[in-house]
Amino acid sequence: MKETQNNIGAYLKLHWKTAVFLVVLLIGIGLADNFVDSYVRRLLNLCAIYVIVSLAMNLVNGFTGQFSLGQAGFMAIGAYTVAVFTVPIESRAAIFYLEPMAPFLANIQLPFIVALILGGLASVVAAFFIGSPCLRLRGDYLAIATLGFSEIIRIVFTNTQSITNGALGIKSIPTISSLWWTYGTALLIIIATVLLINSTYGRAFKSIREDEIAAEAMGVGLFKTKMTSFLIGAFFTGIGGGLFAALLGTVDPKQFYFTLTYNFLLIIVLGGMGSISGTIIASFVVTLGQEALRFLDEPMAFGLDLPIFRPGLRMVVFSFLLMVIVLFYRKGLMGTNELTWDFMAQKYQSIKKKLGGKKTSNEGGGN
């Protein structure tokens, strides 16, 4: 017992900066939860959800080097699981007016957290089925297969009237507006991802990204490892989807067009495809940025009629941004580096040096 206490003490001493940061962060979340208005609250919640899904995507695409485009599909599964199981039983008949809800589901109502985890698990099952044929193959088939899977899920959900209410979608989902749900989950997932990446499994993932053939020669089972990464990614994405449903209060198939996946792709490319901290930063940048640039979609934004501003310009700007990054700043913000205390200290030193260097050369020239 004493040994564990010593270990924890030593651990805290080593990581005191991170511990302080976490405490400050938690206080910040608590304050925000009590004082921000509903618009900002919704935005912050969305940021957290995007962090979760982007991180999951980065785990598979950035760390394991497997190009999956199925996020929208896995999110849809998680979202609909929460929707179907948390809508109050009394409301269901009204929502499912076109065709009554399937009897085996109609009377089951689960607490939010149970439905959330169930959604994650359902995504895992789907990921297992899509991954089994595709992860065995070398080549780019995973991208098309996951994209296709994402579309199939949407098509299926649009047609299974009695389970998902088809194109009408499901509304009156009990909403969660507290920041603790999304940020708490996001923190847990971030911590889990960090611990995973810094373990032998994380190294196995990265080895596959670096050189599959060498990895296999060193004893890393390719299919098993890729599948592990893929399933974990699907689990986190499903949970993100469940939170998404609870945030918005409604789900419908049109929310889960594959174009949703492109948002996450932009985030992980912007942040750096092998960086956890990069993804987190980029999630906030993109989510808030898309909100901030909303004025591009409105012709009357500045009180003048600017016809160049109309719906669609915002997304043109963002897709242009993606092209610029992939063509000129391939590594994104962080590349494969992490925003550790050492990293920031190094950057600070090098910036100081650069500024100091400039000053002395000016002085030298002046003489």
Partner 1 sequence: MSLLRTENVIMQFGGVVAVNDLNIDIKKGELAALIGPNGAGKTTAFNVITGVYAPTSGKVLFTPTDNAGIATEIDITGKKPDKITGMGVARTFQNIRLFKELSVIENVLVATHLNANYSFLSAILRTPKAQKGERQAKAECEFLLERLGLIDLQNEKASSLPYGQQRHLEIARALATKPNLLLLDEPAAGMNPQETDELTDLIFKLKTDFDLTIFMIEHHMDLVMEISDHIYVLDFGCTIAKGTPEAVQNDPKVIEAYLGVDADVEN
Partner 2 sequence: MVVGMTMETFLQQLINGLSVGSLYALIAIGYTMVYGILRLINFAHGDIFMMAAYFTYFGIAVFVIPWYITFIITIGLTMLLGVTIERVAYRPLRDAPKTSLLISAIGVSFLLENVATYLFSGKPQAFPEFPLMTTPFFIGGLSFQPVSIVIPIVAFVLMSALLYIINKTKIGMAMRAVAVDYDTAKLMGIKINGVISSTFAIGSALAAVGAILWCMKYPSVLPLMGVVPGLKCFIAAVIGGIGNVKGAVLGGLILGFSEVLMVAFFPALTGYRDAIAFVILIIILLFLPNGLLGKKYMEKV
Name the residues that contact partner 1, by CB under 8 A. Answer: 192, 195-196, 199-201, 203-204, 206-207, 210-211, 213-222, 228, 232, 274, 336
Q: Which partner, partner 2, partner 1, none, binds residue 340 by CB below 5 to 8 Å per kind?
A: none
Measured distance CA(351)–CA(354) in Å, rounded: 5
Residue 259 buriedness (CB in 10 A; 0-12 / 13-18 / 19+): exposed
Q: Which residues of 315-337 are buried (b: 16+ CB within 10 A; e: fewer)?
A: beebeeebeebeeeeeebbbeee
Q: Which partner, partner 1, partner 2, none, binds residue 94 by CB below 5 to 8 Å per kind?
A: none
Binding mask 68-107 for partner 2 (x = CB under 8 A): -x--------------------------------------
Segment interacting with partner 2, rule: CB under 8 A, options 25-33, 72-80, 314-322, 344-352: 314-322
Question: Do 22 and 240 touch, CB atoms closer than 8 A?
Answer: no
State which of residues 141, 201, 284, 295 lies at the interface with partner 2 (CB under 8 A).
Answer: 141
Site membership for partner 2, residue 265 (CB under 8 A): yes
Question: Do 159 and 165 touch, CB atoms closer than 8 A?
Answer: no
Least spacing, CB of residue 150 vs partner 1, in Å: 25
Which of 242, 274 has the CB closer to partner 2? 274
244 phi-psi bin (left φ>0, alpha ψ -120 to 50, beta other)? alpha
DSSP letter assigned to residue 336: T
Measured distance CA(6)–CA(193) in Å, rounded: 26
Site membership for partner 2, residue 147 (CB under 8 A): yes
Site membership for partner 2, residue 198 (CB under 8 A): no
Least spacing, CB of residue 89 vs partner 1, in Å: 35
C-beta atoms surrounding 63 within 10 Å = 24
Binding mask 167-196 for partner 2 (x = CB under 8 A): ------------------------------
Least spacing, CB of residue 206 vs partner 1, in Å: 6
Which of 224, 358 has the CB closer to partner 1? 224
Site membership for partner 2, residue 118 (CB under 8 A): no
Which of 212, 291 has the CB closer to partner 2? 212
Give one DSSP letter per residue of 285-330, joined into a string.
HHHHHHHHGGGGG-TTTTSS--TT--TTHHHHHHHHHHHHHHHH-T
Measured distance CA(227)–CA(212) in Å, rounded: 14
Q: Which partner, partner 2, partner 1, none, binds residue 330 by CB below 5 to 8 Å per kind?
A: partner 2
Least spacing, CB of residue 203 vs partner 1, in Å: 5
* Cα R_g (the chain), whole angstroms: 23
3-state secondary structure of 144: helix
Least spacing, CB of residue 221 vs partner 1, in Å: 5
| Chain-centroid distance, C-alpha 84 | 22
Measured distance CA(30)–CA(173) in Å, rounded: 25
Q: Which partner, partner 2, partner 1, none, binds residue 215 by CB below 5 to 8 Å per kind?
A: partner 1
CB-side neighbour CA atoms (13 Å) of 56:
32
Site membership for partner 2, residue 334 (CB under 8 A): no
Tokens 């938690």 identify what position? Answer: 26
Measured distance CA(251)–CA(173) in Å, rounded: 8
Binding site for partner 2 (CB under 8 A): 61, 65, 67, 69, 130, 133-134, 137-138, 140-141, 143-145, 147-149, 151-152, 155-156, 158-159, 213, 258-259, 262, 265, 269, 273, 310-313, 315-316, 318-320, 322-323, 326-327, 330
